[in-house]
């Protein structure tokens, strides 16, 4: 990929994932994508080869960034239950949409739009979710140890519950469900996992 050296590939991928995030994969034309990335047609094809390959590269970058942000969040001081509750509630914070309309999780969006029809994209989505689930399970185990999370669920089961909650909340949000209803759903699910510790 010699032409990739002529531009900042990470910056170009950030712009690509923003474009896919805003409009979805199918609705993002090649013209949209190249304009967002600031690339000529020749540079784009020599570096990425196709729109699909650009999506896979952008997903990989997005996954690494989101997992790193999650690790930073849970490295803060305080009981794990409070950190976990704040992490879940952040998913419905209007300020988390950056820029306006770029809401939700790109992984969830791609899972709904493309994963059922593309095995390689399904694998990329699954890798991200598996890594996130493993991290959440470890966090819940820490919460058991510090006494802030009851031991009624195995850590792996609690992590899967949280994955289901986050994905479901974001699909509902994109469907126009009101924030107050989403917050009530989160509260019920957190009560189930955390008791009254949050």
The answer to whether 183 touches 88, Cβ cutoff 8 Å, is no
Whether pTM > 0.85 for this model: the answer is yes
What is the pLDDT at residue 50?
A: 94
In angstroms, how far is CA 89 from the centroid of its own chain?
Answer: 14
Percent of the chain at pLDDT > 70 equals 89
Indicate the pLDDT class of residue 99, thresholds 50, 70 and 90: very low
Count the residues in the chain: 198
What are the pLDDT digits (tens) for 112-142?
999 889 999 999 999 999 999 999 999 999 9
Rounded Cα distance, 140 and 55, in Å: 32
User: Which has the closest alpha carbon to 171: 157, 182, 158?
Assistant: 182
pLDDT band at 104 (very low <50, low <70, confident <90, very high): low
Q: Is residue 172 a contact partner of residue 56, using CB atoms and an 8 Å limit?
A: no
Mean pLDDT of 85-109: 73
| Mean local confidence (pLDDT), 6-13 | 82
Average pLDDT, the chain: 89
State both tokens at 92. 């419905």
- pLDDT of 4 strictly over 70: no
Q: Which two tokens stand for residue 61?
A: 């970058």
Looking at the 3D structure of the chain, how many domains does it have? Answer: 1
Residue 42 has pLDDT above 50, yes or no: yes
DSSP 54-97: HHHHHHHHHHHHHHHHHHHHHTSSS-HHHHHHHHHHGGG-GGGS
pLDDT band at 103 (very low <50, low <70, confident <90, very high): low
What is the reported pLDDT for 100?
A: 42
- Tell me what the mean pLDDT of segment 2-20 comes to: 81
Nearest one of 48, 77, 76, 62 to 20, comparing CA atoms: 62
CATH code for position 53? 1.10.357.10
Asked if residue 37 has pLDDT above 90, the reply is yes
Under 8 Å CB-to-CB from 196, ≥6 apart: which residues?
A: none
The residue range of the domain holding 138 is: 2-194
Please say if the pLDDT value at position 154 is more than 70.
Answer: yes
Assess contact for 57 and 13: CB atoms under 8 A.
yes
pLDDT at position 195 is: 81
């Amino acid at each position: 990929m010699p032409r990739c050296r002529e531009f900042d590939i990470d910056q170009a991928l950030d712009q690509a994932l923003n474009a896919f995030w805003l409009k979805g994969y199918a609705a993002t034309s090649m013209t949209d994508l190249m304009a967002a990335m600031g690339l000529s047609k020749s540079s784009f094809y020599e570096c990425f080869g196709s729109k699909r390959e650009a999506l896979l590269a952008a997903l990989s970058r997005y996954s690494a960034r989101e997992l790193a942000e999650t690790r930073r969040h849970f490295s803060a001081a305080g009981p794990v239950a409070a950190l976990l509750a704040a992490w879940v509630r952040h998913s419905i914070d209007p300020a988390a949409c950056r820029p306006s309309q770029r809401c939700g999780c790109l992984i969830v969006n791609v899972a709904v739009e493309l994963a059922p029809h593309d095995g390689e994209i399904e694998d990329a989505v699954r890798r991200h979710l598996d890594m996130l689930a493993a991290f959440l399970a470890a966090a819940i185990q820490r919460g058991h140890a510090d006494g802030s999370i009851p031991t009624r669920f195995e850590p792996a089961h609690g992590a899967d519950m949280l994955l289901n909650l986050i994905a479901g909340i974001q699909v509902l949000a994109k469907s126009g469900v009101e924030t107050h209803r989403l917050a009530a759903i989160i509260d019920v699910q957190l009560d189930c996992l955390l008791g009254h510790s949050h």
